[in-house]
Structure 1
Amino acid sequence: MSRQAGGPDDQSPAATNPEPQSRYDWSVARGTLTSPSVARNRDPILTLLRRFLPKIGTVLEIASGTGEHAVHFAAAFPHLQWQPTDYDQQALSSIAAHHAASGLSNLLPPLLLDAAAPEWSVERADALVAINMVHVSPWRVTQGLMAGAGRLLPSGGVLYLYGAYKENGAHTAPSNEAFDQDLRLRNPEWGVRDVGEVADLARAHGLGLVERVPMPANNLSLIFRR
């Protein structure tokens, strides 16, 4: 499931356009998609990933979208293998183009992966990362994500989530409420989820919420550990 609608840090006139792809810029020459939100959120996210990712191993990124995050993080963690994935073919093509242009030996070719599927094409990962995915996919995709994390992660392995969330049933900012309404107009199965509901689902698959970190533009980082 590609995170086609981005997050509240990508709020712009295009954010209310019912065509999700309008939020990306397409380079015909390079065959890549780019998202303006990546330049704004990648370094705050990287700061947290430095705290929580393992020293060695494979990081499985779910719904890698344009592929820009994958390149940025693979470059920052040369000791880790970074495995991008997506369910959307245009996203996979963009990730592949970014991968080819990067020259990074630790950035693996993208894999087709449906997070909602009962079985994945990956059997093990040392950490999982999903950025701006939970709110732009049906709830069953988050259910599949948690089930997959429970299957794949070793004891102590981390699942990192980033995006817009409600807390105690309430939006954390008026902009997030407007963003939620916009998402539900695009797809009634999308929407900003509540931290408590996500944490309860994670707990059912053996993952505990160990840290909640406020991020720029009214986003949150949620760190779960198996």
Structure 2
Amino acid sequence: MPARTPAPLTVEYVIDVRRAETRYPGGDPEAGIASLHAFSFGAHYDPDNLRFGALIACNEERLAPGAGFDEHPHSHTEIVTWVVEGELTHRDTTGHETLVRPGDVQRLSSAAGVRHVERNDASQPLTFVQMWLAPLGPGGDPAYEIARGLADSSPYALPEAGATLHVRRLRPGQRAAVPDAPRVYVHVVRGTVRLGPHELGPGDAARAAEEKGLELLGVSEAAEVLVWELTE
């Protein structure tokens, strides 16, 4: 009896895909602010979608010229901002005043408490993604940092939250490994990519836990993806 050819192995991934159109709308359209929230936020309370590991918010914000968020408080939160297009003006009560541009990573550790202002003082529309992470421990002093022009090969570590941010920019057919980690959160900024069996477009996100060997594959030109490597 001839030997049977073994069937090819298939890899099954458990990935929770959240589409852009399922995000919770927010902001103040009359004031030129449009927001889309990936997690339970404000009036959109969802007890089953409060956080993913340390990540507690991933907000897409669009500000018209002259629009912005007036001074408001934060505490016990690591706030990371990625500008997609335009220019963000940031001011806080620890004395920092910064212009944040595409490719820059801005981090504000609110610690025991800080207040800040976020505005679009330019003449062009502003789009940015802002991500909030819960720190491993409460308290401490507020801290601020900006990393200019983050490259694909330069992960941005956030040890206060046990997390690392990776930026992946992909051309069609180009592959990039996703870190093997207890949890991984993927947010597509622009373009189209594949993650395992799933095709993801702008604003789509994916959550994976304890997955090994995941890869991103570029589908469209100029795809840009934010990947959070989370230790918890």
Bin of the TM-score, shorter chain as denominator length = 0.3 to 0.5
Max radius of gyration: which structure? 2
Taking structure 2 as the reference length, what is the TM-score of the superposition? 0.32
